[in-house]
């Protein structure tokens, strides 16, 4: 179902343009925002909330700039309020979304935990991406990194299997409960691919030097 803002623009675009950079892009690289009934600007990660929306590239600095320069009111054509903590809220929601997908993938046997199983999946080429707790022991991470390099060498692939470290062990316990892990791997399949897609989104959002927000589980763990 088309969104309210999805209408042809003068340049023939579909309206999905970052309100900060003014660049059009694929929705996988953009976050939709709408105005809540109380006038607050809120992220619409599932792109299902009613009303006119606007888009910002999935980068924390751009969300912060949109708040600082009051770009949401102009884009939404309404007297809306973008709270100073919007970038932190979005980080938390992206983390919760990723954790939820990890749980779904685990039930589908497409998200496996444990250093030995991760190592085996990497060396066999079954791994789509590797995940470590941010405070995982260096030796355990190093061994899996060796497996990633070995697979790259033996397969002839240009890139290594990606690895992510978003949350501490305590944060993972808060997000995943008994499914928390130190080392994990996403495997092929719709759910496993969903994990990787959401991990890439969160990684791009946080950027090369993520800023740790104040609050509970779901915040940056690096």
158-200 pLDDT, tens per residue? 999 999 999 999 999 999 999 999 999 999 999 999 999 999 9
Question: Pick from 21, 22, 24: which is nearest to 6 by CA?
Answer: 24
77 and 13 in one domain? yes
133 and 80 in one domain? no
Dihedral angle computed from the Cα positions of residues 87, 88, 92 and 97, in that order, rounded to the nearest 10 degrees: 0
pLDDT of residue 14 exceeding 70: no
Give me the CATH number covering residue 196: 3.30.1330.30
Name the residue range of residue 25's domain.
1-84
Task: Please name every residue paired with 218 in a beta bridge, in sequence order, or none if there are none.
Answer: none
Question: Pick from 133, 155, 148, 162: which is nearest to 222 by CA?
Answer: 133
DSSP H stretches of helix in 45-137: 60-68, 71-76, 86-107, 115-124
Q: Give domain status of residue 171, yes or no.
A: yes
pLDDT reported for residue 2: 63
pLDDT reported for residue 12: 39
pLDDT reported for residue 208: 78
188 and 96 in one domain? yes
pLDDT in tens, 16-69: 999 999 999 888 899 999 999 999 999 999 999 999 999 999 999 999 999 999
Q: What is the pTM of this model?
A: 0.86
Q: Give domain status of residue 191, yes or no.
A: yes
CA distances from 47 to 65, 113, 123, 124 (A): 22, 31, 37, 37
pLDDT reported for residue 85: 97
pLDDT reported for residue 5: 63
Question: How many structural domains compose the chain?
Answer: 2
Residue 52 near residue 4 (C-beta atoms within 8 A): yes
Q: Stretch 73-101: mean pLDDT, rounded?
A: 96
pLDDT of residue 8 exceeding 70: no
Lowest model confidence (mean pLDDT) among 7-11, 88-92, 133-137: 7-11
What the block records as the tokens of 19 is 């309100």
Residue 139 near residue 150 (C-beta atoms within 8 A): no
pLDDT of residue 6 exceeding 70: no
CB count in 10 Å sphere of residue 165: 17
């Amino acid at each position: 179902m088309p969104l309210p803002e999805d209408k042809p623009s003068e340049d023939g675009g579909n309206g999905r343009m970052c309100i900060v950079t003014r660049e059009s892009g694929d929705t996988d690289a953009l976050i939709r925002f709408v105005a809540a009934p109380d006038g607050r600007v809120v992220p619409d990660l599932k792109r299902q909330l009613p009303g006119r929306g606007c888009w910002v590239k999935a980068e924390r600095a751009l969300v912060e700039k949109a708040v600082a320069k009051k770009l949401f009111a102009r884009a939404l054509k309404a007297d809306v309020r973008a709270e100073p903590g919007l970038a932190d809220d979005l980080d938390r929601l992206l983390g919760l979304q990723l954790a939820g997908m990890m749980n779904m993938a685990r039930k589908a046997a497409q998200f496996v935990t444990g250093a030995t199983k991760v190592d085996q999946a990497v060396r066999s080429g079954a791994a789509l991406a590797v995940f470590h707790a941010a405070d995982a022991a260096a030796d355990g991470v190093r061994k899996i990194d060796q497996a990633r390099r070995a697979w790259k060498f033996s397969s002839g692939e240009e890139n290594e299997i990606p690895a992510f470290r978003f949350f501490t062990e305590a944060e993972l316990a808060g997000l995943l409960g008994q499914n928390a892990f130190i080392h994990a791997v996403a495997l092929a399949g719709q759910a496993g691919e969903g994990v990787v897609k959401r991990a890439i989104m969160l990684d791009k959002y946080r950027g090369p030097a993520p800023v740790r927000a104040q609050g509970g589980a779901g915040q940056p763990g690096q």
